[in-house]
């Protein structure tokens, strides 16, 4: 039976998405270790299907300032991928990469933005590679667009784009860390429903 919306995902299918999340996060930790030049650890990611309001509330409310990075998926899988990074994550990556200590978002300069964009690019590729290698599908990702703003305003972009398809999101929460500190990162995946069906079919989980 084909899925009509994210609400139709069975426990087993969510488990599969969780496994994709696991593999993607593992890849991301490896890639980040190489980029940052020191070991990066990662907790077992939490993968949940949430609606927009739950994401916004869970991350501190609509006016919480976050870094948002938006990537477009194309080819066999159509959709969007979004990273929401809180201050701790931006701080950790920037201090490792550039030796910059930032307390506030408005201290991030062009150089910092470009470093964050690069980190998210590597992380996005890690997840997309996980999906592509497990399914045999070809997936292209765009370069990330970056903005630093209120969470609610950032979330309005995918919410509008998918308004008539679903109000649910595949939400992956990771905790990356090094010896001194750890910081959560949040990844939101929005494949369109046809692409979600393709992923499930190619994994042989066509319930």
Partner 1 sequence: MSKSVVVGISDLNAVKAPDQLITYALGSCVGICLYDRTTKIAGLAHIMLPSSKEMGGGTNQPFRYADTGIAALVKMMVAMGAIGGHIQAKIAGGAQMFAATSNTAISNIGQRNVEAVRQTLNQMRIPILADDTGSNYGRTVIFNSEDGMMLVKSAARGEKLL
What distances in angstroms separate CA 96 from CA 38, 115, 174, 180, 201, one per listed residue?
A: 9, 10, 18, 11, 41
Two structure tokens written together for 152: 């609610």
Give dist(CA 19, CA 17) in Å, integer: 5
User: Binding residues for partner 1, how many (CB under 8 A)?
Assistant: 30
Return the residue of 153, 194, 205, 207 that touches partner 1, per CB under 8 A. 153
Could you say whether residue 52 binds partner 1 (CB under 8 A)?
yes
Q: Which is nearer to partner 1, 1 or 160 (CB)?
A: 160
Which positions from 57 through 116 interact with partner 1, judged by CB under 8 A? 61-63, 65, 68, 70, 72, 105
Give dist(CA 48, CA 199) in Å, integer: 17
Q: How many CB atoms lie within 10 A of CB 133?
A: 12
Q: CA 124: distance to chain centroid? A: 7
Return the residue of 30, 95, 156, 202 that touches partner 1, per CB under 8 A. 156
Could you say whether residue 163 binds partner 1 (CB under 8 A)?
yes
Nearest Cα to Cα of residue 154 among 68, 37, 50, 46: 68
Give dist(CA 190, CA 132) in Å, integer: 15
The piece of 17-25, 89-97, 161-169, 199-207 that touches partner 1 (CB under 8 A) is 161-169
Which positions from 168 through 197 interact with partner 1, judged by CB under 8 A? none
The piece of 16-24, 87-95, 138-146, 177-185 that touches partner 1 (CB under 8 A) is 138-146
Return the residue of 10, 41, 147, 181 that touches partner 1, per CB under 8 A. 147
Applying CB under 8 A, the residues found at the interface with partner 1 are 52-53, 61-63, 65, 68, 70, 72, 105, 142-143, 145-157, 159-161, 163-164
């Amino acid at each position: 039976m084909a899925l009509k919306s994210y609400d139709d995902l069975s426990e087993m299918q969510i488990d599969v998405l969780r496994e994709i999340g696991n593999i993607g996060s593992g890849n991301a930790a490896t890639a980040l270790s190489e980029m940052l030049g020191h070991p990066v650890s990662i907790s077992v990611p939490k993968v949940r299907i949430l609606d927009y309001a739950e994401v916004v509330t869970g991350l501190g409310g609509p006016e919480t300032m976050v870094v948002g990075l938006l990537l477009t998926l194309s080819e066999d899988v159509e959709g969007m991928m979004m990273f929401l990074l809180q201050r701790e994550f931006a701080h950790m990556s920037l201090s490792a990469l550039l030796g910059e200590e930032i307390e506030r978002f408005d201290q991030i300069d062009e150089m910092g933005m470009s470093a964050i964009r690069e980190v998210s690019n590597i992380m996005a590729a890690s997840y997309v590679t996980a999906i592509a290698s497990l399914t045999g599908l070809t997936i292209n990702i765009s370069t990330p667009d970056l903005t630093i703003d209120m969470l609610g305003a950032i979330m309005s972009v995918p919410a509008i784009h998918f308004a008539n398809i679903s109000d649910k999101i595949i939400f992956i929460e990771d905790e990356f860390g090094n010896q001194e500190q750890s910081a959560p990162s949040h990844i939101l995946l929005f494949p369109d429903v046809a692409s979600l069906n393709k992923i499930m079919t190619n994994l042989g989980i066509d319930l």
